[in-house]
Amino acid sequence: MSCDVVIRKAKADDADDILRLIRELAIYEKAEHEVLATKETIIASLFSNEATAKTIICENGQGRIIGYAIYFYNYSTWLAKKGLYLEDLYVAESERGSGVGKKLLTHLAKIAVSEGCGRFEWSVLNWNAPAIAFYESLGAKPQSEWTVYRLTGEALQKLGS
């Protein structure tokens, strides 16, 4: 039950569980083949002195990690304020509908407010109707006037060389 959960900052010791949940998320998003992360890269990218992203996790009453959120700060030139960007939010399938996702988002919203952020943003796959309905139930609005672009692989290397 969601009343028994604890949300806390992740530690390097949580890397195996974070990776497990990242893989579960990738399976859910039909992109398991795209996961290149390892325990070592999770530790280096989230828990080193150079880490630019942060992670919170949700544990059930038995101490099992059942959800996580990875976030970082971006910047709004129009607001002249930082924003909080949610990179990943995932709740184990067995725990969905129990309030865990809302608790994770509420925790992040509190961080955004306490840090003086002007906005709290994330992306969702357009086919993920349950997530879209959940986010809209919280008052989030789609930014349909924006299209996301991404450079990766060879295109990134070509432009960056």
Extended beta strands in 11-106, E state: 54-59, 65-76, 81-91
Q: Which residues are catalytic?
A: 135
DSSP state of 48: S
Supply the CATH classification number for the domain 2-160.
Answer: 3.40.630.30
pLDDT tens digits, residue range 63-115?
999 999 999 999 999 999 999 999 999 999 999 989 999 999 999 999 999 99
Helix, strand or coil, per DSSP, at residue 7: strand
pTM reported for the whole predicted model: 0.92
pLDDT tens digits, residue range 1-18?
446 899 999 999 999 999
Closest by Cα among 6, 114, 11, 101 to 54:
11
What sign for the dihedral angle of Cα 49, 50, 56, 60?
A: negative
What are the CA-CA distances from residue 55 to residues 4, 58, 154 (Å)?
20, 10, 29
